[in-house]
């Protein structure tokens, strides 16, 4: 059948018909909201490169979680900004560290909110690298020992899901084993399986308080933008190591990779619309080149169309308010 019997415009004549035929939908349950918590700050501090995003104190955190829950979201991703940083990042596994305190507090007030915590050393090290440095090089295997301690400490504090983001080889297996041994066999690991060495993480460095100290790049452990097959091998290896769910990050420049992993495995997939993507949309909206709400709605639909089950985004509250 073809024209004139076939007319695609029959599907598009009213909002109700367009909704009827929509192949993917956005729902508040799709979204994960990232929250930054800073030790020893008493009021929320705005992150200048991420309009609308704050570094929260333990006090303002509860209001932020309340607002997040009000907008219909029940999943948050925590990033901690400690007061004390050292070359080993030892405050990351302190039982009274910032994430540990935040997780206990959230769980006390909002036991049904799913708390995911980023498991990486870069927020905790004085040099801003994702692991233990030796003669100017990152020591992968020494870093695994630290990641095990962080994961166990998070799980003890009530964190529901551990998200290793540093791309250390073997980190998923190491964390899985440590969680088993520490009596947390049911804590899922959400691996940043496909995480590119990306310029789009720029504003995150401000938000995580690592902007000024970090010198260098992460190209020794994060994957190059040119790599598709290597990224897929890495994702498949994370699955073998015991990952329960996978993240593709950044989202928008790597929609092809979301589709690729979707077709090759049956694990839940989360797309991360990272800080640079958010900042770019904000800047374009400020310059009045497009309607911001329509633009982020379109981007988020694209992640779902590509095959993501959930989306980590700084727009989570905005999109959910729009959907309500
Ligand atoms: C590492 C981490 C980063 C992001 C999330 N976890 C930064 C990096 O790998 O350099 C970036 C997130 C974003 O840009 O929004 N802990």
pLDDT at residue 276, as a whole number: 98
For the beta carbon of residue 174, count every other beta carbon within 10 angstroms: 22
Please identify which residue in the block is written with the tokens 């367009």: 18
Confidence band of 287 (pLDDT split at 50, 70, 90): very high
In the predicted model, is pLDDT for residue 265 greater than 70?
A: yes
Does the beta carbon of 129 sit less than 6 angstroms from any atom of ligand 1?
A: no
State pTM to two decimals: 0.97
Residue 266 belongs to a domain: yes
Nearest-atom index, ligand 1, CA of 34 = 15
Does the beta carbon of 274 sit less than 6 angstroms from any atom of ligand 1?
A: yes
pLDDT at residue 299, as a whole number: 98
Q: Which of 85, 101, 148, 195 is catalytic?
A: 195
- Strands 133-134 and 137-138, how do they pair? antiparallel
- What is the rounded CA–CA span in Å between residue 249 and residue 258? 9
How far, in Å, from the CA of 12 to the mean position of ligand 1?
Answer: 39
Nearest-atom index, ligand 1, CA of 166 = 1
* Mean per-residue pLDDT over the chain, rounded: 96
- The total number of structural domains in the chain stands at 1
How far, in Å, from the CA of 67 to the mean position of ligand 1?
Answer: 24
Residue 10 belongs to a domain: no
CATH classification at residue 51 = 3.20.20.70
Please identify which residue in the block is written with the tokens 């993507």: 277
Look up residue 238 and give its two tokens. 């994370």
157 burial (CB, 10 Å; 0-12 / 13-18 / 19+) is: buried
pLDDT at residue 14, as a whole number: 98
Contact yes or no for 200/250 (Cβ under 8 A): yes
Residue range 25-63, pLDDT digits in tens: 999 999 999 999 999 888 999 999 999 999 999 999 999
pLDDT at residue 40, as a whole number: 86
Residue range 202-238, pLDDT digits in tens: 999 888 876 667 778 899 999 999 999 999 999 999 9
**Domain extent at residue 102:** 27-323
- Strands 54-56 and 45-46, how do they pair? antiparallel
Residue range 100-112, pLDDT digits in tens: 999 999 999 999 9
Residue range 122-157, pLDDT digits in tens: 999 999 999 999 998 999 999 999 999 999 999 999
Does the beta carbon of 176 sit less than 6 angstroms from any atom of ligand 1?
A: no
Q: HSE-up of 272 (CA within 13 Å, CB side)?
A: 26
Of 120, 198, 217, 311, which is best to mutate to test ligand 1, by the most ligand atoms within 8 angstroms of its C-beta?
120
Residue 199 belongs to a domain: yes
Residue 1 belongs to a domain: no
Confidence band of 310 (pLDDT split at 50, 70, 90): very high
Q: Pick the residue whose CA is nearest to atom 6 on ligand 1.
A: 165
Does the beta carbon of 275 sit less than 6 angstroms from any atom of ligand 1?
A: yes
Please identify which residue in the block is written with the tokens 């992968």: 140
Q: Is 195 annotated in the active site?
A: yes
In degrees, to the nearest 5, what angle opens at C-alpha 240 toward C-alphas 168 and 252? 65
pLDDT > 90: what percent of the chain? Answer: 94
Look up residue 45 and give its two tokens. 């501090």
For the beta carbon of residue 96, count every other beta carbon within 10 angstroms: 11
Residue 64 belongs to a domain: yes
Residue 121 belongs to a domain: yes
Look up residue 164 and give its two tokens. 């290793």
How far, in Å, from the CA of 287 to the mean position of ligand 1?
Answer: 26
């Amino acid at each position: 059948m073809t024209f004139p019997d076939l007319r695609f415009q029959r599907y598009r004549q009213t909002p109700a018909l367009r909704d009827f035929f929509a192949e993917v939908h956005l729902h508040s349950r799709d979204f994960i909201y990232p929250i930054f918590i800073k030790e020893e700050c008493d009021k929320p501090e705005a992150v200048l490169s991420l309009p609308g995003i704050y570094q929260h104190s333990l006090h303002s955190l509860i209001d932020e979680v309340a607002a997040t829950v009000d907008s219909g979201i029940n999943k948050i991703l925590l990033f901690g900004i400690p007061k004390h940083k050292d070359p080993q990042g030892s405050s990351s596994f302190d039982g009274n560290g910032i994430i540990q305190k935040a997780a206990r507090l959230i769980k006390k007030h909002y036991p049904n909110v799913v708390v995911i915590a980023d498991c990486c050393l870069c927020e905790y090290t004085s040099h801003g690298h994702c692991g233990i440095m030796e003669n100017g090089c990152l020591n992968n295997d020494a870093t695994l020992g630290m990641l095990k301690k962080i994961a166990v400490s998070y799980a003890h504090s009530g964190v529901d899901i551990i998200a290793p983001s540093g791309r250390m080889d073997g980190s998923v297996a190491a964390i899985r084993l440590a969680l088993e041994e520490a009596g947390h066999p049911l804590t899922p690991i959400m691996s940043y399986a496909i995480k590119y060495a990306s310029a789009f993480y720029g504003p995150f460095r401000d938000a995580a308080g690592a902007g000024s100290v970090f010198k260098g790049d992460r190209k020794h452990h994060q994957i190059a933008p040119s790599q598709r097959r290597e990224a897929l091998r890495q994702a498949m290896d994370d699955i073998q190591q015991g990952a329960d769910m996978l993240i593709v990050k950044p989202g928008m420049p790597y929609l092809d990779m979301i589709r690729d992993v979707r077709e090759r495995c049956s694990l839940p997939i989360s797309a991360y619309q990272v800080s640079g993507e958010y900042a770019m949309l904000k800047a374009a909206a400020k310059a009045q080149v497009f309607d911001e709400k329509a633009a982020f709605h379109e981007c988020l639909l694209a992640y779902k169309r590509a095959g993501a089950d959930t989306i980590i985004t700084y727009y989570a509250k905005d999109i959910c308010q729009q959907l309500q």
